[in-house]
Structures are given as structure tokens and as C-alpha cells.
Structure 1
Amino acid sequence: MDNSHPSPLDGRTVVVTGGTRGVGAGIARAFAAAGARVVACARRPPPEKLPAGVEFAPLDLRDPPAVRDFFDALPRLDVLVNNAGGAPYRLLADTDAERHARVIELNLVTPLTASLAAYEHLRRTRGAVVMIGSVSGGRPSPGSAAYGAAKAGLENLARSMAVEWAPEVRVNTLVVGMVRTELSHLHYGGEDGIEAVARTVPLARLAAPADIGAAALFLASDAAAYISGASLLVHGGGERPAFLDAATVNKGE
């Protein structure tokens, strides 16, 4: 007797923007393992061979005509994961408004561009959009203020999109905390820095890209069929409130 079961995303097509490295690669890998055909698009080719089931497509998300052409050429689309983004550490007064605007464009405008280009496909397949947000959008983000502002806007955009595009298309946001990737040392200062930062997280570690991939897969799957306009926190419990460490109560003082 055949006890095999089809994978939850067999036959479905998924596009992951920025899906060739870091968090995006973890997301692409999770969808491929679930049986989907995954297209990972980015401006530059992947740094290493992509896993089985994932193909690379070059795409500059800041070029709206190219984005529209890319989605128009797809035979079908079931899930769009808007993952591409990021920003360097940059204090507000250290550069001009034009540079900050480019950060907002990458992290807010390009997900809107991709979602609009994908809309007709997703409407036909009753598909899903997953925005990759950030805890930076819900708290002060010194050194990445434009990024935090863009991620706050992205979460609000997703809520409005979920209402406008219902019932055909579900739209949700993953609000992601700190993730350990191949670039973590640039942000936290090597292994000692990574371990020190991990100790500030209640679950005592940074997320792995696979953790984000699993959460994105859930929001895109039939298991989340009645979830739309939601924000799912994937941050290991968040940040320990600073006042707890500053308080003198129970410290014998």
C-alpha cells in the first residue's frame, strides 16, 4: 500500500524576491522542500548553487517595467514572498535625504511594485502575498531609521492590501527579529558579538533562515486559509525590557 502523501505546495509556483542568500534563501528552500516550484529573483546571481526546486531569475525590483515583464511572463503564480530589502547602518544626519529615500524605495516601494505586477496571477489562483517585515518597524531604530519607517509602512500596506484584494488574495506580514546569516558578523562583530546579542533574546539565540522559511510557508499554506491582514511576530520572544535590568527591586539594594 502506498502511504505517501502529496507535499502541501505540489504544483504551486512561488516567487521569492531576494531569494538567493540569507533569509531569502531560507524561505526559498522551505517552499521547495514543500513541493513548490520556486523562482528566486535578485539583481545578482546566487553566491552558491541553489537547492533543487529553486531557479534563479535576474530582476531589478527598482525597474517597474522589468518587474511587470517578469511577472507577465510567468505561466502562473500562487505565492509572492516580498523579502528583498535591507539597509546599511547610517545615522540620519550623516547623509542626505536622497540616500534615505532609496532605502525606503527598496523596502517599501518595491514590494508594492512586485505585488501590483503579481496581482492578476494571484487573483486567478486565489493566492497569497507574504511581506517580510521587521521588528524595526515597531520600535525606534537608530542607525536604520529609514529602514524602520519603511517596514512600518510595509506592515500597514499589507493590512490595506488584504482588505482591498479579499477574498481572492490573502496578504500577511512576518515581523522578523534578528536572524543569523552569512553577514551577521558585519552587524554584531564576530562570534562573540553574535553570542552576546543572542543572550538578549528570550529564546537565547538568533533565528535561523529556516525559522523564517517555516513561518512564511505556514502563512502561504492552506493551514492559514483564514488568516489575512495579520502580522506574525517571529522574534524569539522579542527584547527584554530595559527597565527590568535597571530596577533595584529584588537586587538587595
Structure 2
Amino acid sequence: MHPLDASGRRVVVTGGTRGIGAAIARAFLNAGARVLVCGRTEPGSAVADFFRADVRDPEQAAALIAAAVKQLGGIDVLINNAGGAPPVSANTASPRLHAKVIELNLLAPLHVSQAAYPVLRDQPGGGHIIMIGSMSGARPSPGTAAYGAAKAGLHHLAGSLAMEWAPKIRVNTLVVGPVDTETHGPQVDPQAVARTVPMGRAAMPAEIADACLLLASPLAGYVSGAELAVHGGGEWPGYLADPRTEAYPPQK
């Protein structure tokens, strides 16, 4: 069996109905896994089995895990992908918006992971949790300050859980740079990305999904508490001047 073959594995993807989440669900399905995705609204065409849940609510997060155990017979991989935030200045955003952003991007992954913990702990093979983080949590995030702060907290949360829940449960984070999706595409300026990302383009959702397959595979069996940067070589934030000058031209 190829190490990235996920045949028979049981996978839960939060926010798995579109964008990066849908790509992750599709990648695991194509690798032979059984997949359950959740979202607040049912998609027109589901990528995988769907369970309606707002994972900001601890009771709904627990219901998602219970549904996964019932439908899949357990959980081998949990991917906390649900997240995001609209661009808004920190001085004009409402307290309610800030709270909702932090709930979705930090507290929701904690709720779902906490609900999944006894399931993963008590299985003979344990399990894996992958957090979908962001470069916004690794450097200043003007225009999405609450989101960046929440993602920074998510990165820290993953490291803490990796230590608390070892050795039965591995916990890792993907620190993601610009991604070209239907939900994030309008916020990604292709010309700016070409100038400021060494790879010269934004990531495709499938490339984020491939990194999830790798972390969840036996190839990463000793990797826990890690932050894997998937940012095309290093993002130079758009709010700073382009680093490319005549002295440092783009590589052909």
C-alpha cells in the first residue's frame, strides 16, 4: 500500500463544503477514505457526506463528532478547516464581529478537538488532528486583526494539544499563505502575488489538501506539534512594499 493511500480511514473536515475544505475532502475521498464534512448550510452538490453544524457552538461541535462516530464508526483524522473573516479595519469593526471571528477561527477548533479527544484517545491507533492556520497568524495582519490574532492563537493551541494529548494523538498545523479559491480569490491580486511570493503564484486548494494527506499519513508518523508552512517560499505581505527590485529580479 502506498503511504498516502487513505483506504479505510475515517476523516472529518469542518467547513468542508467549499474552497480549501472541499479540496481536502475530495483529496481524502480520492485516496480511499470515508469523509464527513460539516457546514452551516448544505451545499448544492456535496463533495462528501454532509452534517449541518455551526462549530462555534460547543453542543453542535459535539453533535458533529457523535455523527461521525455513528456514520463512520470512528475518526482517524480531524481537520479543523472552518474559518475566515471579512476585511475590516480594527477601529471600525464591531465588538460582535470581533467575537464571531475569534469564535470561528480559534474557539471552534478547540470545541471540535475537545469533543473528538475521547474518541481518538480510546481507539487502538489513536488519531490525528490538523489545524488549518494562516500566515496572518505569523505576522501582522492589518485589515484582519482579529482573524490574525485568532490564527496565532490556533497555532499555539495546536502545539499545546500536541503536548497534552501525545502519544495517542498527533496535532499539527498548516500555516497557509495566499490561496486561489472562489471564496478568497477576489482578495488575492495575482500580480501582487507574482511579485511578492517566490513561487510566483497563489496556492491551489488541492495543494493544501495534498499537504494534509502528507501530515495524516504514516510518512509523518513522528511529526507532532509542527507548523508546516505552505506559502510558496515565504509571503511578503501586500501591505509592505514589493521586495522585488532591479537588484533582486524574479527568477525566470
TM-score, structure 1 as length reference: 0.88
Cα distance in 2, alignment partners of residues 176 and 250 from structure 1:
25
Which portions of structure 1, spanning 4 or more consecutive aligned residues, are displaced by more than 3 angstroms? 4-7, 240-251
| Count, aligned residues | 241
Counterpart residue number, 1:218: 214
Cα distance in 2, alignment partners of residues 210 and 20 from structure 1:
14
Counterpart residue number, 1:177: 177
Structure 2 residue corresponding to 1:56, chosen from 29, 50, 55: 50
Given that 2:175 and 2:229 are in contact with CA atoms closer than 8 Å, whether structure 1 keeps it comes out as yes
* AA matched with 1:26: A
Q: CA deviation at 1:59?
A: 1.0
Q: CA deviation at 1:195?
A: 3.6
Given that 1:184 and 1:194 are in contact with CA atoms closer than 8 Å, whether structure 2 keeps it comes out as no
Inter-CA distance 129–249: structure 2 relative to 1 (3 Å threshold)? closer
TM-score, structure 2 as length reference: 0.88
Counterpart residue number, 2:118: 120
Counterpart residue number, 2:65: 71
Q: CA deviation at 1:9?
A: 1.5
Residues 26-72 of structure 1 show CA distances to partners (whole Å, capped at 9, x for unaligned) of 1111111111101111111124342xxx2111111122112212312
* AA matched with 1:20: T
Structure 1 residue corresponding to 2:195, chosen from 170, 195, 199: 199
Structure 1 residue corresponding to 2:96, chosen from 95, 98, 113: 98
- Which deviates more from structure 2 when the two are superposed, residues 89-98 or residues 229-238? 89-98
Counterpart residue number, 2:186: 186
SS at match of 1:199: helix
Residues 92-133 of structure 1 show CA distances to partners (whole Å, capped at 9, x for unaligned) of 111232321110110000000000011111111411000000
Counterpart residue number, 1:89: 87
Task: Say which one has the larger Rg.
Answer: 1
Cα distance in 2, alignment partners of residues 185 and 221 from structure 1:
29
SS at match of 2:171: strand
Cα distance in 2, alignment partners of residues 95 and 6 from structure 1:
46
Given that 1:158 and 1:172 are in contact with CA atoms closer than 8 Å, whether structure 2 keeps it comes out as yes
Residues 128-168 of structure 1 show CA distances to partners (whole Å, capped at 9, x for unaligned) of 00000000001110000000000000000000100000000
SS at match of 1:94: coil
Counterpart residue number, 2:159: 159
How much is the aligned-residue C-alpha RMSD, in angstroms? 2.3
Segments of 5+ residues of structure 1 without an aligned counterpart are none
Q: CA deviation at 1:7?
A: 6.6
Counterpart residue number, 1:17: 14
